[in-house]
């Protein structure tokens, strides 16, 4: 009872913490800066008080707690437009939270859809203008400025008839605002401000821009905007803009808002001289940015140039978006018209003509200079499309380096010929991909060729510092500065970094936080902070830390404009993390430098938060070593110092940097740490010295490990844990290289389990090895195999008892062994029923008795686990359990019913949705067993009876909606009229709360630690429950007539679901389970997490074997729809359906391959040029959002391509491949064509997945050689490493076969079909390429499938409805 009370208190405190954080975040989102500052300071205190709890929100379960996502998003939003003081406080918040790996976060930032406002009289423009004027009015400090804003508000409200109650436009505008805005706007409806118009001063002639004069940005913008307003012809627009001119001269933000609209209106007037003036003004800014000598500029000129360039980009971006919208409208019109004039009107549009005068190449170069890399890439690719034969791959590589996109760099590198690459290009490629030894060699060769090349020297020094060779870098820097003293500004930052890494206090003490060019140096600030800490000057330390946070937050604030802001800001977040560690450890008089305060657990958790990358974690470890060096020498400090070196060695080894790893290990030799011996052997193994690694580790295990009688229980446990890790590594090596016999290896694993019984890894590897032996050792007799099998099950059970690390591997395999053994045994008994017991030999009787004993032991082991393990651990294999519900063995069937019924009692909402189709199975035995499970569950929980009745009634009535027949012409049904009983059911006040079956509500979120089982919430506690239905039911125009319904839920939202008839959705459901498991493994893999790889999944709920519900995938559009629309805008190239059908009459399945190839290349492809890239430009006009969406497209497309290939997924025509209009994700739907069923079509499918020329072209200049190929390889590597558990999900097809497999065969025939289909998947997961020979490597397998998908001979033989030409 006391334990339960403690758990309740802990749970309540955690819930309270979430509520408190959310309450503080509301203040950070406030408009007023003082409120945001006060709330941020409160947040700092809250985070410091509950730092360990906040870190458990990140590390405590499979998925990061949503409060962390909310917190980081709010802080990023709060940084936008913040004061220096507020930025510093927000930086402190980020530091306390820690540098959480971006791959752990599931932040979904939707694309901002830019609205095209054609007239100044539009309601949308009025709302935006009044919003800007309201903001300016509130922000005004001086009375005159506020009066000017008030006058503008008065005129604008009057012009838009906001004061007239009869005006529809005024009502729409007024309804767009809330109470805060009404408070400002209402007094100005009847105000009487009068503004005295003075005679305009002569502002000269265009261009007005000149960086060489004393011009400021605001004066240039004001002058140019007033000049443009004078050229506007529309009376209403001119009056509105003119009244705003009295306000925007005091408010730059208002001027920046108005300029694109005014400029576009002037261009649309088709006044060529005015348009030319505008073009000249824009080019004056761009050309100045390219040609200016920035080193000689004053700070005013730099600021003018930076802000002016940004304004030009905003203007061009606005015009391009208008141009694309106009082109779409003209294209649709021209598609309906036969006149040539309408078809050519797009090219004659004033905006199109204007933009032709601004070079995409120039825009790209200017964007690169001002570090706007995503914009630079967008214009670079536009220039490359115009001139496909002159792609500057060297420049493309620099862009991707700026974007820190290693896959993009590799793709550009692969697209170039080796002879076209300079040494520096090769060096930068190797450096960006983490191959530092190769990069260092290339930089060194470049230095030999050109000793005075400072870029080569900088690259070489970066490689040294990132390889943990700071002393070598220090000597090299000093030597270079002696030879080239004028390189001081270029090398200063690296010199300071080497200084603080090496604790060169004499250099650090004389350093200055700014470099010779006047820029703030982050390493200079860190040096200054360390010196202040060493000299115990705490006031100076806190000031320096504040300056350091401000420097880092300037990068964070800049990244806030990007689509994936946190990932772009991550290097700066890492610096904030380091500054917080410095303050926590040595930043206050209370801690001091006399005694080191133990903080190992805190440091371990802080490091685990950080992205698993050597070059990101090593600076943190270097800083810790420098801080440890400040304290007086002691055994404890020496151990912590050695542990930091050991962590560096481990990270370097994992990164493949063997020299850096060995260098770090050398520094650990002076202190006895057992982990060192293991790390030395791991490094030897990595170098290829396998025998030496094994012998050394065996020697160290026998001689170096042991416990001292004086050791505490905690010390003994730690020593045993390290000892167990060493034994496990030794066992894995013995198994991998087959160095010893089965018994020796098994005993090795058993020793681990005995030494460290609470460690799941030891039990798991012992179980895995025993399982491997019993499956693959033909020389073992059945008794020996069964002994191995029993040991396998027992060890899997022990593994599951100590945590969830191997849950998805251990649980499915354990259940498969148990269930299959009984099935096989029953089969053997059945085959011998023709013989009486008296006629059996004594050996047969003994064998039968032995098997029964094994059966009993297996059942007893599973029953023990059933009573011991948490219910959610069995729930992860719920589909597997339900698929075997009709097991023939009575003991097994009874235990299965017990397990499933307990899960129904524990998780009734999720369990019933997942087994409702089994209750209606066409196999009577399965339906009866399912009913028995439900009855048993009701007997265990009396309160469940009403819920089950309501649930089954709801499921039956939803099935009626699915199966309702509709006439061909019916497009809509009424829920109130056509499905009255369903409406009555859910509207009953006594109707049970039943969750809506969304993917988020059905997916368990597991705790990482075994001790969190009782307090952890596996499913969302606030899941939406069904309340009512909207009356509208949309009947979709496909052959099966699926219905789209809207369900209103308890959270106040309505959700769309698809009721699909005449389809066995169990196939789709299991594929979603497979995809969800793939997502878990992708999330666990560091390389996959860095790329944010995942499959878009959605809930699939079979209601019977012939119908079911599907979660509607919002904001998506089909590939065919996108491309058809784009081709219709180009009627000269577009091929109509009638033309296509006419041409296809000349081609049939019997036509020769040569003729098909010729037809495809000469008739279809020329009429369907690649245009898919245009959809990304239109849907995601903002450059950073465009780049993020394009990356999401490449990654999600790659993941699903590999999964589709493994599963034999076909029928990937343009309606089944969708794209998310909010983030670019590729979403696949309709998984009816699995297990290579497409190969049996009349026109057999020949490609493993869809990768047509449109899809390749949209990937960018490097095509498949960039992110797509690398993400394919990572996905395939993850899938192959987890093939056992992935196959366990698919094994449910064997025991619950699909309806389509039952045609013409009995139950054994169905099982045979399932086993054949799954056998093919298993071979692919093992690298089988479908031909004779050895299995392919991951890279080889991926390359082969990409080639097959793009092969013209394969594409030209696809059925024309699949549309390989799109």
State the first-to-last Cα distance of the chain, in angstroms, to the nearest integer. Answer: 66
Tell me the pLDDT tens digit for each residue of 455-504: 999 999 999 988 888 899 999 998 988 888 888 888 888 888 899 898 88
Please state, in angstroms and rounded to a whole number, the distance separating the CA atoms of residues 302 and 310.
12
Tell me what the mean pLDDT of segment 356-366 comes to.
Answer: 91
Q: HEC profile for 506-536?
A: HHHHCCCCECCCCCECHHHHHHHHHHHHHCC
Query: Could you give the C-alpha distances from 430 to 391, 397, 1087, in angstroms and in order?
Result: 21, 12, 17
Over 70: is that where the pLDDT of 227 sits? yes
Burial category of 1033 from C-beta neighbours within 10 Å (exposed 0-12, middle 13-18, buried 19 and up): buried
Retrieve residue 1244's tokens. 């057999």
Tell me what the mean pLDDT of segment 831-841 comes to.
Answer: 56
Taking the CA atoms of residue 790, residue 796, residue 799 and residue 804 in that order, the dihedral angle to the nearest 10 degrees is -160
Burial category of 288 from C-beta neighbours within 10 Å (exposed 0-12, middle 13-18, buried 19 and up): buried
Tell me the pLDDT tens digit for each residue of 245-275: 888 888 888 888 889 989 989 888 888 888 8
Taking the CA atoms of residue 896, residue 897, residue 902 and residue 904 in that order, the dihedral angle to the nearest 10 degrees is 110
Question: Which residue(s) pair with 1056 in the sheet?
Answer: 1046
Over 60: is that where the pLDDT of 116 sits? no
Over 70: is that where the pLDDT of 928 sits? yes
Over 70: is that where the pLDDT of 831 sits? no
Tell me the pLDDT tens digit for each residue of 575-602: 999 999 988 887 666 666 666 666 778 8
Tell me what the mean pLDDT of segment 278-297 comes to.
Answer: 80
Please state, in angstroms and rounded to a whole number, the distance separating the CA atoms of residues 1345 and 1351.
10
Output the pLDDT for position 1027.
93
Please state, in angstroms and rounded to a whole number, the distance separating the CA atoms of residues 898 and 915.
15
Is pTM beyond 0.85? Reply is yes
Mean pLDDT score of the chain, rounded to an integer? 84
At 499, phi and psi to the nearest 5? -65, -50
Task: Specify the range with the lowest mean pLDDT, choosing from 199-208, 223-232, 850-859.
Answer: 199-208
Q: Is 974 helix (H, G, I), strand (E, B) or coil?
A: strand
Please state, in angstroms and rounded to a whole number, the distance separating the CA atoms of residues 661 and 468.
9
Output the pLDDT for position 1043.
92
Output the pLDDT for position 111.
41
Over 80: is that where the pLDDT of 683 sits? yes
Question: Which residue(s) pair with 1100 in the sheet?
Answer: 1110
Output the pLDDT for position 663.
87
Output the pLDDT for position 4.
34
At 163, phi and psi to the nearest 5? -85, -10
CB atoms near residue 193 (< 10 Å): 15
Q: Which residues of 1255-1266 are buried (b: 16+ CB within 10 A; e: fewer)?
A: bbbbbbbbbbbb
Tell me the pLDDT tens digit for each residue of 503-526: 888 888 877 666 544 555 788 888
Q: Which residue has the higher pLDDT, 379 or 177?
A: 379
Output the pLDDT for position 342.
45
Retrieve residue 498's tokens. 């080497």
The residue among 1224, 1229, 1213, 1225 whose CA lies nearest residue 1175 is 1224
Please, are residues 289 and 309 in contact by the beta-carbon 8 Å criterion? yes
Tell me 595's DSSP state.
S
Task: Name the band, by pLDDT with cuts 50, 70 and 90, for residue 1300.
Answer: low
Please, are residues 871 and 842 in contact by the beta-carbon 8 Å criterion? no
Output the pLDDT for position 772.
87
Output the pLDDT for position 343.
45
Tell me the pLDDT tens digit for each residue of 1106-1158: 899 999 988 999 999 999 888 888 766 677 778 888 888 888 888 888 999 99
Output the pLDDT for position 786.
87
Sign of CA pseudo-dihedral 875, 879, 881, 882: positive
Please, are residues 1224 and 1180 in contact by the beta-carbon 8 Å criterion? yes
Over 90: is that where the pLDDT of 1333 sits? no
Over 50: is that where the pLDDT of 12 sits? no
At 386, phi and psi to the nearest 5? -75, -30
Burial category of 175 from C-beta neighbours within 10 Å (exposed 0-12, middle 13-18, buried 19 and up): exposed
Greatest extent of the chain over all pairs of C-alpha atoms, in Å: 122
Task: Name the band, by pLDDT with cuts 50, 70 and 90, for residue 982.
Answer: very high
Residue % of the chain over a pLDDT of 70 = 88
Output the pLDDT for position 956.
93
Tell me the pLDDT tens digit for each residue of 60-95: 887 888 889 889 988 988 887 788 889 999 999 999
Tell me what the mean pLDDT of segment 1290-1301 comes to.
Answer: 66
Tell me what the mean pLDDT of segment 13-41 comes to.
Answer: 82
Tell me the pLDDT tens digit for each residue of 796-813: 999 999 988 888 889 988
Quote the Cα angle for 127-129-135, to 5°: 100
Query: Could you give the C-alpha distances from 1131 to 69, 169, 317, 336, 1180, in angstroms and in order?
Result: 47, 38, 27, 9, 25
Query: 1252: part of which helix (H) or strand (E)?
Result: none
Question: Which residue(s) pair with 1029 in the sheet?
Answer: 1047
Question: Which residue(s) pair with 1111 in the sheet?
Answer: 1057
Q: According to DSSP H, which parts of 777-841 are helical?
A: 782-801, 807-831
Task: Specify the range with the lowest mean pLDDT, choosing from 152-166, 247-261, 886-900.
Answer: 152-166
Tell me 723's DSSP state.
H
Task: Name the band, by pLDDT with cuts 50, 70 and 90, for residue 6.
Answer: very low
Output the pLDDT for position 1246.
92
Output the pLDDT for position 1015.
59
Q: HEC profile for 359-422?
A: CHHHHHHHHHHCCCHHHHHHHHHHHHHHCCCCCCHHHHHHHHHHHCCHHHHHHHHHHCCHHHCC
Tell me the pLDDT tens digit for each residue of 726-736: 888 888 888 88
Output the pLDDT for position 1148.
84
Please, are residues 960 and 980 in contact by the beta-carbon 8 Å criterion? no
CB-based contacts of 204, cutoff 8 Å, min separation 6? none
């Amino acid at each position: 009872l006391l334990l339960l009370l403690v758990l309740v208190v802990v749970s309540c405190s955690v819930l309270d913490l979430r509520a408190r954080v959310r309450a503080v975040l509301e203040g950070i989102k406030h408009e007023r800066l003082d409120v945001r500052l006060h709330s941020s300071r409160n947040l700092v205190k809250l985070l410091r008080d509950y730092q360990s709890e906040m870190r458990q929100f990140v590390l405590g379960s499979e998925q990061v707690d949503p409060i962390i996502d909310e917190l980081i998003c709010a802080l990023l939003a709060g940084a936008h437009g913040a004061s220096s003081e507020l930025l510093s406080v927000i930086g402190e918040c980020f530091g306390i939270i820690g540098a959480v790996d971006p791959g752990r976060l599931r932040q979904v930032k939707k694309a901002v859809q830019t609205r095209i406002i054609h007239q100044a009289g539009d309601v949308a423009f009025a709302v935006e203008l009044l919003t800007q004027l309201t903001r300016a009015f509130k922000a005004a400090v001086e009375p005159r400025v506020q009066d000017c804003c008030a006058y503008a508000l008065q005129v604008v409200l009057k012009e838009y008839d906001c004061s007239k109650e009869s005006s529809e436009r005024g009502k729409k505008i007024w309804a767009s605002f809330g109470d805060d805005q009404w408070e400002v706007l209402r007094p100005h409806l009847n105000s009487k401000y009068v503004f005295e118009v003075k005679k305009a001063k002569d502002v000269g002639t265009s261009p007005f821009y000149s960086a060489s004069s004393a011009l400021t940005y605001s004066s240039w913008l004001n002058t140019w905007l007033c000049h443009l307003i004078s050229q506007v012809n529309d009376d209403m627009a001119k009056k509105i803009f003119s009244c705003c001119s009295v306000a925007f001269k005091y408010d730059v933000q208002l001027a920046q808002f108005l300029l694109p609209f005014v400029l576009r209106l002037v261009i649309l007037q088709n006044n060529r001289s005015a348009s030319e003036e505008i073009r000249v003004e824009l080019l004056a800014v761009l050309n100045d940015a390219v040609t200016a000598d920035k080193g000689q500029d004053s700070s005013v000129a730099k600021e003018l140039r930076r802000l002016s360039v940004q304004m030009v980009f905003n203007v061009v971006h606005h015009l391009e978006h208008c141009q694309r919208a106009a082109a779409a409208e003209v294209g649709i019109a021209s598609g309906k018209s036969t006149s040539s004039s309408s078809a050519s009107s797009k090219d004659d549009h004033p905006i199109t003509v204007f933009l032709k005068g601004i070079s995409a190449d120039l825009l790209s170069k200017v964007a690169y200079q001002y570090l706007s890399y995503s914009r630079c890439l967008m214009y670079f690719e536009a220039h490359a499309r115009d001139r496909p034969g002159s792609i500057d791959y060297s420049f493309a590589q620099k862009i991707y380096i700026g974007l820190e996109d290693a896959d993009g760099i590799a793709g550009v590198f692969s697209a170039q010929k080796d002879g076209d690459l300079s040494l520096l290009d090769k060096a930068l490629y190797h450096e960006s991909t983490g191959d530092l030894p190769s990069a260092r060699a290339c930089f060194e060769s470049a230095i030999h060729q050109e000793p005075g090349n400072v870029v080569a020297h900088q690259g070489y020094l970066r490689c040294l510092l990132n390889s943990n060779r700071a002393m070598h870098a220090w000597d090299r820097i000093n030597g270079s500065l002696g030879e080239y003293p004028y390189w001081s500004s270029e090398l200063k930052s690296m010199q300071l970094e080497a200084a603080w890494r090496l604790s060169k206090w004499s250099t650090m003490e004389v350093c200055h936080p700014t470099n010779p060019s006047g820029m703030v140096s982050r390493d200079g600030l860190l040096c200054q902070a360390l010196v202040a800490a060493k000299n115990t000057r705490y006031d100076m330390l806190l000031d320096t830390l504040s300056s350091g946070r401000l420097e880092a937050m300037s990068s964070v604030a800049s990244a806030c404009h990007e689509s994936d802001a946190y990932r772009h800001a991550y290097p700066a977040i890492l610096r904030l993390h380091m500054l917080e560690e410095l303050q926590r450890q040595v930043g206050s008089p209370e801690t001091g430098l006399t005694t080191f305060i133990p903080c190992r657990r805190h440091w371990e958790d802080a490091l685990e938060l950080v992205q698993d990358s050597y070059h990101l974690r090593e600076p943190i470890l270097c800083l810790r070593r420098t801080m440890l060096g400040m304290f007086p020498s002691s055994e404890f400090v020496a151990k912590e110092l050695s542990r930091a070196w050991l962590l560096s060695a481990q990270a370097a080894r994992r990164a493949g940097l063997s020299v850096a790893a060995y260098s770090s290990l050398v520094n650990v030799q002076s202190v006895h740490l057992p982990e060192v011996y293991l790390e030395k052997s791991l490094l030897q193994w990595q170098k290829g010295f396998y025998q030496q690694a094994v012998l050394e580790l065996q020697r160290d295990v026998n001689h170096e490990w042991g416990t001292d009688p004086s050791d505490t229980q905690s010390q003994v446990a730690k020593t045993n844990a390290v000892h167990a890790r060493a034994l496990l590594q030794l066992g894995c090596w013995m198994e991998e290289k087959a160095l010893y016999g089965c018994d020796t290896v098994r005993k090795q694993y058993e020793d681990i389990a005995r030494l460290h019984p609470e460690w799941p890894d030891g039990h798991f590897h012992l179980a895995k090895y025993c399982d491997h032996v019993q499956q693959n050792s033909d020389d073992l007799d059945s008794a020996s195999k069964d002994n191995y099998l029993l040991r396998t099950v027992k060890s899997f059970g022990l593994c599951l008892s100590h945590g969830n690390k191997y849950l998805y591997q251990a649980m499915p395999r354990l259940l498969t062994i148990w269930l299959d053994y009984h099935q096989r045994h029953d089969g053997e008994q059945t085959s011998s029923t023709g013989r009486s017991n008296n006629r059996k030999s004594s050996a047969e009787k003994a064998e039968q008795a032995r098997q029964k004993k094994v059966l009993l032991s297996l059942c007893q082991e599973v029953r023990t686990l059933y009573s011991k393990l948490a219910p959610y651990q069995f729930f992860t294999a719920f589909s597997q359990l339900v698929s075997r519900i009709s097991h023939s063995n009575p003991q097994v069937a009874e235990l299965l019913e017990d397990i499933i019924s307990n899960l129904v009692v524990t998780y009734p909402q999720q369990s019933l949705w997942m087994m409702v189709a089994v209750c209606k199975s066409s196999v009577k035995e399965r339906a009866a067993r399912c009913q028995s499970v439900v009855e048993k569950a009701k007997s265990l929980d009396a309160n469940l009876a009403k819920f089950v009745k309501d649930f089954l009634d709801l499921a039956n009535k939803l099935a009626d909606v699915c199966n309702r027949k509709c006439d061909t012409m019916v497009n809509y049904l009424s829920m109130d009229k056509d499905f009255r009983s369903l409406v009555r059911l859910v509207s009953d006040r006594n109707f049970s709360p039943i969750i809506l079956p969304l993917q988020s509500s059905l997916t368990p979120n597991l705790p990482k630690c075994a001790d969190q089982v009782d307090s952890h919430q596996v499913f969302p506690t606030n899941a939406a429950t069904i309340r009512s239905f909207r009356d509208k039911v949309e009947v979709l125009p496909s052959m099966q007539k699926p219905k789209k319904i809207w369900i209103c839920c308890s959270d106040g939202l309505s959700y769309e679901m698809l009721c699909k008839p005449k389809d066995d959705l169990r196939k789709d459901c299991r594929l979603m389970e497979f995809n969800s498991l793939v997502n878990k493994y992708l999330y666990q893999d560091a390389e996959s997490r860095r790329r944010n790889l995942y499959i878009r999944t959605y809930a699939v709920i079979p209601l019977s074997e012939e119908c079911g519900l599907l979660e509607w995938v919002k904001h998506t559009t089909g590939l065919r729809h996108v491309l058809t629309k784009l081709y219709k805008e180009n009627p000269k190239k577009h091929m109509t359906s009638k033309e296509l059908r006419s041409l296809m009459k000349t081609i049939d399945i019997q036509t020769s391959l040569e003729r098909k190839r010729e037809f495809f290349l000469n008739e279809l492809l020329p009429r369907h040029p690649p245009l898919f890239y245009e959809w990304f430009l239109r849907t995601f006009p903002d450059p950073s959002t465009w780049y993020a969406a394009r990356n999401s497209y490449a990654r999600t497309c790659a993941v699903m391509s590999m999964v589709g290939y493994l599963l034999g997924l076909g029928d990937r025509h343009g309606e089944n491949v969708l794209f998310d209009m909010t983030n670019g994700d590729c979403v696949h739907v309709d998984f009816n064509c699995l297990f290579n069923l497409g190969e049996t079509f009349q026109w057999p499918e020949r490609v493993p997945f869809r990768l047509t020329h449109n899809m390749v072209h949209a990937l960018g200049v490097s095509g498949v050689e960039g992110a797509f190929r690398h993400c394919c390889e990572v996905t395939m590597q993850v899938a192959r490493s987890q093939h056992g558990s992935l196959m366990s999900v698919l094994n449910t097809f064997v025991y619950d076969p699909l309806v389509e497999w039952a045609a013409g065969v009995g139950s054994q025939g169905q099982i045979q079909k399932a086993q054949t289909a799954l056998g093919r998947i298993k071979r692919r997961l093992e690298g089988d390429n479908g031909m004779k020979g050895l299995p392919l490597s991951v890279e080889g397998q991926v390359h082969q499938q990409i080639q097959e998908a793009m092969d013209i001979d394969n594409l030209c033989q696809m059925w024309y409805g699949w549309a390989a030409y799109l």
